[in-house]
Amino acid sequence: MGIRDFIAEVQELFGLPEGEKQGKKKSLKVLIEQLEESKSQLNEKIRAAEPKSPEREELKEQKKILKLQIKKAKKHLQEL
């Protein structure tokens, strides 16, 4: 999967706004910033959710997926 495909897929998966057309490095940096912001919002939702609730467990699962996508994006950025 190419970098542009990765960016498009992650934006679609997490409902992130599509940025303006730019270079690969800049696009990855913007994507990482958006993912980090989403992660902090998820952390707030997790703290607000009831302990041991199904909603909280689902939010934690989303956070794990988000962390993996951040890791992949940083790896792609280092390759450039």
Cα–Cα distance measured from residue 18 to residue 68, given in angstroms and rounded to the nearest whole number = 20
Q: Give the residue numbers spanning the domain of 73.
A: 3-16+25-79
Q: What is the pLDDT of residue 41?
A: 92
Q: How confident is the model at residue 37 (pLDDT cuts 50, 70, 90)?
A: very high
What is the full DSSP assignment across 5-70? Answer: HHHHHHHHHHTPPPPPS--HHHHHHHHHHHHHHHHHHHHHHHHHSPTT-HHHHHHHHHHHHHHHHH
Mean pLDDT of 72-79: 88
- The number of folded domains in the chain is 1
Q: What is the pLDDT of residue 23?
A: 80
Lowest-confidence segment of 2-16, 37-51, 65-79 by average pLDDT: 2-16
